[in-house]
Chain A
Amino acid sequence: MEKPSEKSWKKQPWFWSSAVASVILRLVLIVYFPNTLNFSSRPEVSTPLTSLRRLAEGYWLKQSSMSPYAGSMYHGSPLLLSILGPLTIDRGEGKSNHLLCGLAFVIADFITAILIRAIGQLLQVADIKSLKSLGATTHLNVSENFPSGDIAALVYLWNPLTIITCLGYSTSPIENLVTVLSIYGACMRLVPLAAFGWVIASHLSLYPVILVIPLVLLVGSGLDTPPRKLFPYIDDDQIQNKKSLNRIIFSWRRVFLFFLWASIWAFYVLILCGISLKDYSSLGEMFKRTYGFILSVEDLSPNIGVLWYFFAEVFDFFRNFFLMVFHINILFMVLPLAIRLHHRPCFLAFVYIAISSILKSYPSVGDSALYLGLLGLFVNALADMQFSFFLFSGYLGTLLLSPVMHNLWIWRGTGNANFYYATAMAYACFQIILVVESVSSMLNHDRALKKVSFCVNKFE
């Protein structure tokens, strides 16, 4: 029964050909249209945190023996500065100087897609195994399942948002890569890799810190399974199976190892940062200029998030209060989601990434590209999600409308800030609906599984 499907996701020339095609498309766009597309100046693509232009300024400041954080230009990691900085130097002679950077981002995108595919394959294997143990395979008709890893990887690679981010020379592809790397490491139960990805990702953009819960769950109890509550319905002959499931339920040793590795990596990263900033600045300044900048929303330039206009307009004496409220809003949902979805850590990671990319201080479409790619991993579970067409058109509409409104406001001066703010609001609403719908349909999927397994157990 599962043979054809297995075959179909073992050798798939169409996956590789389309993946390579997407890479070629990127390269063609980078090489032949270096200046015509000009995505790097779009506020949707490059935020103050991820803009490569600011990184170049930071690198220039560092080269002229000043702190890269002098002035309020650069807010990224000093490690990124050492890696990407040399690539941004103007070679002169009218050559497109960002070619190498573009290449780096294409590679990062490709690796991310490959990792997503690997995660998807692992998930699918685990899914089939747990369904089999429930004895529900016959009822759910597994043969109709899509190879979710391939789909997710291709969704990531062919997503116009990913392509735009890659061409827009923002550092989000790198951030996405390390985030996916940490999930992959946790899925493979490679504790050092997971810890490395988590530490680097939170070092680069702070928000992946909340991924610690899904990562710990993944490392401790393994991949996504249907809720454990279902297993009591299984008959006595399957108790053996249940025991084996219970045995791998949570390994504290791995969690401890995860934190040990995480602290080692964090220490290592801090030392590296300290070395690279040694002569110009201090780690304290680094934290103030990176995490402090993220948390205090100092830059009020427009982006697709919800916070910039709010903090440009809000009365000064409420500013701190609202800063706390908005940041806590992300943290508030962490625990309820973890309680409800603890049996599906990968999905939990997806929800966390989506939430933080909606509510973060300087969101860009690169963050959306990541969670839309990860959404592809759950294509089987979320098959009966509501409003998918509505959401698709909503995304499309807001993303087309946003440059128009920006143009009207900033360049033509015929619109005003409210136009652009309205699209940002609409975009946030669509994202919220997507998250809520996916969560509730995942819960429904679990319910359906329960029903099926109940029926199976009753009639057998």
Chain B
Amino acid sequence: MARLLSIFLLLVFILHVASESTEEVVEQIDGEEFTEELLFRPLPDRKVLSHFHFESRVPPTNSYGHHHRLFPKAIYQLVHKYRIREMELSFTQGRWNYERWGGFDPVSGSNAKPPGVELWAAFDVSPDQVDASWKNLTHTLSGLFCASINFLESSTTYSAPDWSFRPLSSNLRYGSLPREAVCTENLTPWLKLLPCRDKSGLSSLMDRPSIYRGFYHSQRLHLTSGEFDPMASDHGIVLEQMLTVVLQPDALETRGRNLQPNWSMSSLFGKTVDGKCALAKSSNVYVQLEGSLVHNMKDEGDEGLESNSNFEFSVSPDRIMKEINSFHREHSSILYGFSIKDHHNSKPFDLGFKWKLPVTWSCVKAPLRVSRFLMGSGNERGAIALSLQSTEWSQSLPKVDHNEEKCRLKVDVFQVVPWYIKVYYHTAKVYVDGVPQSFGDAIEKLSVSPSEDKVSPGVMEMSLKLPCDMKSASLTLEFDKGFLHIDEYPPDANQGFDIPSAIISYPDFQTRMQYKQDNASIKSPMVSKMQEKRKILSYTEVLLVPLTTPDFSMPYNVITITCTVFALYFGSLMNALRRRVGEEERLLKEKDKKSGKLQLLFSKLSAKLRGKPWDPPSSSSSSSSSSKFISSKVILKIVLIAAIAFGWQYYSG
């Protein structure tokens, strides 16, 4: 009996193990996963960056099939319909402050976006179909996200960057709408793509008034798919949804003590997290302290990582990760991880951060401080200037290379200019420290596709080669302002037109944050994203160009006045030509008499045809016959006109 029991127990155990293992197998085959993460980072100017990162993955269709539990069907269909290899859509309000919020680290490098909507997509179709795919995609996205992305359909708004935007960017299209307003109607469809929407999990923090109150708000959607790539057949589709908000914590209690403001989830968002989204594989919150901040904090040591005299967390961190191989000397940043597995309704997760000692620091900036502005006045012409100023970072670069060559800083510029800004590319001038440079000296590579009126925008891709020890460099391009047809002006024409941001990238520098992960089993997509090498990008300001407007109320007046002038020309010249003076009239009459024989013959002939006796030409009869003749002519004319009108109606209708 005991033996039987033991066998039974064994069986039960085996079954249990088997079932567990099958569950695991199912999970592995299933492979469809969703993770949610949230990163907080205190910023030097008393603000807090919060960065939501949601990632959904689906394995390739040929091994997994078409049915998904978590992955949004809309995105799946989008990828398959338009054969998208990679796509990124961002809705941004406000401008990323590269000076204060950093421009070198992966978070700012990939999350700083130009204001308005930016969309780029790479397709896996033949090059002649890319434009058609792009146009369809813009319309689909426009419907999906309730935004006017469909304005990117017109060939005057998008461009095909060759090399400066992304390396090896074939079949890529890029477009941006700087003036698109971003609001909740764009956020709601974006949230709909999440399995838990904003009902539970980290996304429940997204209280609309508080996230739209921020200084910077960027909502992104990044899509990569290996569906159509035979080399990456196990890649599937990855959908990353990111929301980056820069918020100002309420700093009433700390104002007097010169401390950085304390913050907590509930003070930033007015909400707390009631546990993780049930469908998420992992749900983590991170707090990142930048390298320079860690460096500047006093009495910091290895043991100080967890309990610090500078600050304290309201919840103790589950893991602490320290950056290794930091680019910046001993400044290595620290990432505190909090997992919200065991929080629920009665015990909500509310992370708080409290400063104890005042500390100041500054972010790692991009190699150059870039700004773009307009020069000149008036509405006829102007110039675009791009100013690149060295930062303390680039000044720390070695002045001379190891092979005794002058150190050069490579800067790629990608700029799209709408067609009504008619840029003269031959006027491109580069100044280094105020000294004009010869063309080949400063510009390594330049490819231009000039704008075509009402057809395509002007695209300039330029690779600059600047000496490392320069203080400032600038690039100027002159342009003429175009004049548009009245229908082409937007409703508020006097506000001006936007030139989308230029993209500045530094191909020689790549940024990554390598974290020593204490527990390899906890794989965080966001942290692994930070560990990827990526190019440093920065966006310049959007320029506002006022264009001259015609008088919008004038069409009828202009048409009538111009036509009057034409009539004046035609009428008066014709009158001058056919005016006869008395004598000439007499001469002509004499001539008529001479050549009257022909008329005589003609009238005889017509009389014969009519079967009437021909009466000799007297003035009265000739006039009557001519009047008759005219009347038949008139009838003929009327018939002709009617026939033409009929034909017109027939063919045009």
Residues on A lying within 8 angstroms of B by beta carbon are: 41, 53, 56-57, 59-61, 64, 66, 70-73, 92, 298-302, 306-316, 325-326, 329, 332-333, 336-337, 340, 358-359, 409-411, 413, 416-418, 421, 425, 428-429, 432-433, 435-436, 439-440, 443, 447, 450-451
Contacts and interface: CB of A to CB of B under 8 A. Distances in A.
A310 B569 contact: no
A72 B425 contact: no
B438 interface: yes
B458 interface: yes
Contact of B438 (A59, A92, A299, A436): A92
22 contacts: A57-B450, A60-B425, A61-B426, A64-B446, A71-B452, A73-B422, A310-B559, A313-B558, A329-B569, A329-B570, A333-B570, A336-B577, A336-B578, A410-B548, A411-B378, A416-B550, A440-B576, A443-B577, A447-B581, A447-B584, A450-B583, A451-B583
Interface in B465-515: 480, 482-487
B358 interface: no
Interface stretch (B141-149, B560-568, B629-637): B560-568
Contacts of A71: 449-452, 458
A298 B548 CA distance: 17
- Chain B contact-residue range equals 35 or more
* Residue from B452, B486, B549, B569 with most neighbouring chain A CB atoms (10 Å): B569
Name the prevailing secondary structure of the B interface residues: mixed
B579 interface: yes
B426 A72 contact: no
A92 B578 CA distance: 60
Contacts of B188: none
Given A411-B377, A425-B565, A313 B451 contact: no
Contact of B565 (A306, A332, A411, A416): A306
A179 B623 CA distance: 50
Contact of A417 (B422, B446, B454, B548): B548
Contacts of A310: 558-559, 562
A301 B380 CA distance: 9
A411 B576 CA distance: 42
A316 B551 contact: no
B548 A312 contact: no
Nearest to B574: A336
A312 B577 contact: no
B558 A309 contact: yes
A244 B446 CA distance: 70
Contacts of B569: 329, 358-359, 428, 432, 435-436
B601 interface: no
Contacts of B562: 306-307, 309-310, 425
Contacts of A309: 550, 558, 562
B198 interface: no
A300 B549 contact: no
Interface string B441-457: 00000101111111000
Contacts of B482: 300-301
B572 A436 contact: yes
A337 to B, nearest CB: 7
Given A57-B424, A417-B550, A450-B583, 6 more contacts: A71-B450, A71-B452, A92-B436, A299-B483, A329-B566, A432-B573
Interface in B573-605: 573-574, 576-579, 581, 583-584
B19 interface: no
Interface of B: 377-381, 419, 422, 424-426, 436, 438, 446, 448-454, 458, 480, 482-487, 548-551, 554-555, 558-559, 561-562, 565-566, 568-570, 572-574, 576-579, 581, 583-584
Contacts of A416: 549-551
B559 A326 contact: no
A307 B572 CA distance: 20
B424 A53 contact: yes
Contacts of A329: 566, 569-570
B453 A72 contact: yes
Given A71-B451, A298-B453, A314-B559, A410 B378 contact: yes
Contacts of B555: 313-315
* Residue from B438, B555, B572, B573 with most neighbouring chain A CB atoms (10 Å): B573
Contacts of A326: 566
Contacts of A302: 483
Nearest to B576: A440
A312 B425 contact: no
B551 A417 contact: yes
A340 to B, nearest CB: 5
Contacts of B559: 310, 313-314
Nearest to A330: B569
B580 to A, nearest CB: 10
B236 to A, nearest CB: 42
Given A418-B554, A421-B558, A413 B568 contact: no
B462 to A, nearest CB: 12
Nearest to A433: B572
Contacts of B570: 329, 332-333
A31 B570 CA distance: 44
A317 to B, nearest CB: 11
A197 B446 CA distance: 40
B550 A313 contact: yes
* Residue from B548, B549, B584 with most neighbouring chain A CB atoms (10 Å): B548
B551 A418 contact: yes
A96 B438 CA distance: 16
A72 B425 CA distance: 12
A92 to B, nearest CB: 7
Nearest to B452: A72
B568 A432 contact: yes
A56 to B, nearest CB: 5
Contacts of B450: 57, 61, 66, 70-73
